[in-house]
Amino acid sequence: MQSKARSGHILAIQPNDSTVSNVGELSTETLNLKGIRGVINDGDVRDAEFIIGLGFQVLHRYFSPRDVVGYWLPDAFGQRVKIGDVLITR
């Protein structure tokens, strides 16, 4: 997911899942170093204290300590994402 994100952009994630964290310490640190401006995630976040300390902007729906590794993989990039009633386009 981080490898596809482009500098100066915002990463929007629609995981269609509320059981694992799609964003955490490692992903936000990587995205921040790449120059990504922030994340809109219609899912879970972990490592909130680290993310706040980093000053990286993340909007999310839930908190979960459960890691995404081995459970969830993205299936599309650069597509429209609907979060709630809002359609996010490129």
Distance CA 17, CA 8 (A): 27
Residues in binding site for substrate? 46
Backbone angles phi, psi at 7, to 5 degrees: -55, 140
Which residue is listed with tokens 């899912």? 43
Q: Which residues are annotated as a binding site for Mg(2+)?
A: 47
For residues 65 and 63, what is the distance between their CA atoms, to the nearest angstrom?
7
Which residues define the annotated binding site? 46-47
